[in-house]
Amino acid sequence: MRSIKLILAIIAIAVCLINSGAQAQDEDWHTKGRKLLSQHRYDEAIEAFSTAIDIIPRDYQSYNFRGVAYALKKDFDKAMADYNKAIDIRPRYAEAYNNRGFAHTQTGNLKAALNDYTRALEINPFLVDAYNNKAWVLATASDQRIRNGGEAVRLAKKAVELKADINSMDALAAAHAAVGNFDTAVDVQRKAIQKLMLENKTADVHKYLLHLKSYRAQQALLIDYSARAKITGSQTAKASPKSSTPKTPASTDKALKTASAKNPPKPKTAPASGKKQSKPTQPAVSAKSKKTVATAKKPTPAAASQDKIAPTRAAKAAPPAKAQKKPVAARKPEPVVAAPARKTAATVVKPLPYTIQISSFRDPQQSIQVARKLNTNGDPAFTSPVDISGKGRWYRVFVGNYTSLAEARSAADELKRRKFRYVNIAKKPYTVQIGKPIPRNKVRQIQTDLKAKGYFSYQLPSKTDPNQIRILIGAFANKKAAAGLVRQLTTDGFNPEIAIK
């Protein structure tokens, strides 16, 4: 009998864990968007990333990935707007610079594209996509003010050193052709095609064969990007992002490179996804010229991978400074030395308008579990409800309360070093206070009562007497945002009021 009960208990625990895991997965809209993106379901991916941004307004990775989705839909204006936002939030975001360079390339703004690729490599000298993309533009641009075969060879060689895949080898072959090294270009291109065949990726072989045919004919690739940008896009093949594991912090996602036809005598190409198209026409070969216009390879959007949404620890917030004890005069207690002492305490316990958001959940219990685990490890975490238009109520998890933006930034830097994916400083000066400040020995009972009703509270010292404790719930940008929680707490029998942290 005892063994049966034990088995049933184990099954019940397993079910809870499965449900909890499924729920956590459902609520990670960023991961859901990544999956949809890899499935070429771009509109759904955009919606998922938009939801992630609604929940975490400064989620730079979701802005970047949504930009990739827009770019794959050829909506480059919206793509660049998202890349700009990602860079505003995280100025040293190499992948976003590379992706914005991709968008500039597709719209014919090659100078801006090259500047973005250069900036991406300054930030991350190991970003293969940026080497490939910059080398490809320099090797294939028909504009002689842009074209630089020697630099293209240097960049493409570096890309091959880092990752000798079909994309980097194709770029290296084009770069060698640009400087007239056609024998080397043929050799590299043949190796690239052989590698593609060995990997059983036969759908795109024909477009690489077109490049090989040009090199054998002693012809470099030339692309008029400005003219191509004016085409409606009906001849332009779609790129599709490769899936990548979210566990590797330094890894990047890549879109499959594609070739797009311009005007005759340029060859048409098939989409990277492998969909069938009509047989491409061969490039015309002039007896007098050794150069021809060839297929345009799209630079590859890169997107940084994500870390876990809720790590086990968060940066420790600086505890409020203890107020100095007031000096007490031995003979004259009547002048009430307490007055200057209270004034000193008030200057020590300053307002704490800033906090750091690290995650958000639809399930309040899940947010409480994360906050409680952080607290167990010594980090001052708390939760706060938020009503998002069209998304319902969510429960955000915050870490710490800070007197200044500089102090919050210092704590945020520590969080980033500890590999938090979401580290977003928020100004939330208002909170909901339960009753009046009370002595520390009476705090536990009230917090227990709140816990029984499903509330997760935290403590801060009184502004006028650091020996008295304020019991608080949540953090809000304004009084209106806090009003709903006040009504709910009142209904549950508590005595709440909106206060300044």
70 part of a folded domain: no
Closest by CA to 254, choosing from 267, 240, 264, is 240
Is 286 domain-assigned? yes
Q: Report the C-alpha gap between 330 and 285 in whole angstroms.
A: 105
In the predicted structure, residue 369 carries a pLDDT above the cut 70? yes
The verdict on residue 281 lying in a domain is: yes
Residues 6+ apart with CB under 8 A from 387: 393, 484
Single out the residue in 289, 304, 319 at which a domain terminates.
304
pTM score, two decimals? 0.53
pLDDT attached to residue 3: 52
pLDDT of residue 450: 92
Domains contained in the chain, number: 2
pLDDT tier for residue 348 given thresholds of 50, 70 and 90: low
Tell me: do 296 and 361 sit in the same domain.
no
Same domain, 287 and 425: no
Tell me the pLDDT tens digit for each residue of 272-323: 333 333 333 333 333 333 333 444 454 456 654 333 333 333 334 444 444 4
In a domain, 443, yes or no: yes
* Residue 366 sits in the same domain as residue 491: yes
Flag the least confident range among 17-31, 262-276, 294-308, 320-334. Answer: 262-276
Give dist(CA 401, CA 353) in Å, integer: 7
Q: Residue 193: what are its φ and ψ, rounded to 5°? A: -65, -40
Give yes or no for residue 352 having a pLDDT over 50: yes
Residues 352 and 298 in one domain: no
Q: What would the pLDDT profile of 312-328 be if each residue is shown by its tens digit?
A: 333 344 444 444 444 44
Residues 260 and 132 in one domain: yes
For residue 494, give both structure tokens.
């508590």
* CATH code for the domain in which residue 391 is found: 3.30.70.1070
Nearest to 109 by CA among 78, 143, 75, 132: 143
What distances in angstroms separate CA 63 from CA 54, 80, 88, 93, 416, one per listed residue? 11, 10, 11, 12, 18
| Whether residue 126 is found in the same domain as residue 228 | yes
123 and 272 in a single domain? The answer is yes
pLDDT given at position 432 = 96
What's the gap between Cα 154 and its chain centre? 31
Range of the domain at 279: 92-243+251-304
Residues 237 and 342 grouped into a single domain = no
Dihedral sign, Cα of residue 45, residue 47, residue 51, residue 54:
positive
pLDDT exceeds cutoff 70 at 425: yes
3-state secondary structure of 442: helix
Q: Is residue 31 part of a domain?
A: no
Q: Give how far the C-alpha of residue 282 lies from the chain's centroid of Cα atoms, to the nearest Å.
A: 42
Partners of 354 in the β-ladder:
402, 427
Render pLDDT for 130-173 as a digit per residue (tens, 0 to 9): 999 999 999 999 999 999 999 999 999 999 999 999 999 999 99
Tell me, letter by letter, the H, E, C secondary structure of 183-225: HHHHHHHHHHHHHHHHCCCCCCHHHHHHHHHHHHCCCCEEECH
- Indicate if the pLDDT at residue 495 is higher than 90: yes
